[in-house]
A and B are shown apart, each in its own frame.
Chain A
Amino acid sequence: MAEFFHMGGYGLYVWGSFGVTALLMVAEPLLLRSRSRQIKQRILRLARLEQGANQ
């Protein structure tokens, strides 16, 4: 196991590359999810305000 993480002495470079790639490719979908939630909430709020104004 330790040998696997050691990567024949290239551990820092291999994991530094795969790690940052994984980090960004996990972060991007999460950020997009919160962006989607925000805009949907905003649209729903606008729709409620409009309904309130029409009554």
Chain B
Amino acid sequence: MSSRLVNWFKFSSPATFYPLSRKIGTISTIIAVILIAIGLYMSFFVAPTDYKQGEGYRIIFVHVPASWMSMFIYLVMAGWAALGLIFNTRLSAMMAQALAPTGAMFAFLSLWTGSFWGKPMWGTWWVWDARITSELILLFLYLGYMALRAAIDDPRRGDRASAILLLVGVVNVPIIYYSVQWWNTLHQGSTIKMSEESTMDETMLITMLIMTLGFWAYSIAVAMARLRSVILERERSANWVRELANGEL
């Protein structure tokens, strides 16, 4: 019986996860390239012109996936931070560390593409509306997490301090998500609803989902690549890294 169970703690060691991260990274890269290629083709050549916003609405195909990823990556990082605090595993903190710059990039892209969408549709690049302001705070949380990590010399102390920052910041994610319902915002409400049918053309919806899955695979691929560097940087004096070096990596 016990031989059937996977010992998950085995993979919480950087040395055992290092070879696995390469396989995950390669598979995710292939999936990301294929899905984003299909998604881009559909964004421009398959999805119909919007009756109200013309061709301008096509920004949705990068804006919504980037915004979703910026929130989702934060939740995943907070999850790893919690695991790291509970089980005191080094790899969990490294996972969060590997995801942060990608999450920050998506938060920035969400604001950037939103700005480029707001200008033609609302007539302004920026407005201090609840949705946009809380997304900006998310970007600052990412930057704060990275700055705090970098400011603490002892990596393990840095792991714990930044894990707590991540967990406190989680409160911001539901605020972003529900901001369009709680407050009267300039930002439109959700087009995709979980409880009822969404108010969107099916081709547009499928295109957006394909782009989202592509961004998802992209995030896993770059996180794995960054994780491999983080592991090597932090474990450079460990025996297993020396053995890797003797085999010329």
B226 close to A32 (CB less than 8 A): yes
- Chain A interface SS verdict (over half): helix
A17 close to B116 (CB less than 8 A): yes
Q: How far is the CB of A12 from chain B (nearest CB, A)?
A: 8
- Contact residues on B (Cβ < 8 Å of other chain), bracket: 35 or more
Residues on B with C-beta less than 8 A from A21 are 62, 66, 109, 112-113
Instruction: Report which A residues bind B (CB closer than 8 A).
Output: 4, 7-10, 12-14, 16-18, 20-21, 24-25, 28-29, 32-33, 35-36, 39-40, 42-44, 46-47, 50
A-B contact pairs, 23 of them (CB 8 A): A8-B55, A8-B56, A10-B120, A12-B116, A13-B117, A13-B120, A14-B56, A14-B59, A17-B62, A17-B117, A21-B112, A24-B108, A28-B101, A28-B105, A29-B222, A32-B225, A36-B229, A39-B233, A39-B236, A42-B236, A44-B249, A46-B236, A47-B242
Other A-B contacts than A9-B54, A10-B56, A18-B59, 8 sampled, CB-CB below 8 A, are: A7-B55, A14-B55, A17-B112, A18-B62, A20-B112, A21-B109, A21-B113, A36-B228
